[in-house]
Amino acid sequence: MYAVIESGGKQYRVSPGDVIQVEKLDTPEGQTVDFSQVLMVSDDQGVRVGNPVLSGATVTATVKSHGRNDKIKVFKMRRRKHYRKTQGHRQYYTEIEITGIK
């Protein structure tokens, strides 16, 4: 059994027990969060696809932790124009564990 959910503008394929990192959520650690943007569900009854989302389908998850990813370097340069710019960025994330698909 698995589902495809949307969170933070990205789509994730999840199954019960999976631990994934999504864009930062404003939910404290240990709390549960419900995702109502379920795009597809596959189970023993077959595959159900929403248009664009499935009505009545929810995915429940528990927030495990919050953190920041590794730093990436953003380098911009224009040749022959004496323009060089370097920036760094660390993206915030929330680590969740999928507990159920309804």
Sorting pLDDT into bands at 50, 70 and 90, what band is 82? very high
Model confidence pLDDT, tens digit, residues 9-62: 999 999 999 999 999 999 999 999 999 999 999 999 999 999 999 999 999 999
**Are the CB atoms for 88 and 16 separated by under 8 Å?**
no
Predicted confidence at residue 9, as pLDDT, reads 94
Domain ranges of the chain: 2-101
Predicted confidence at residue 54, as pLDDT, reads 94
pTM of the complete model: 0.85
Predicted confidence at residue 88, as pLDDT, reads 98
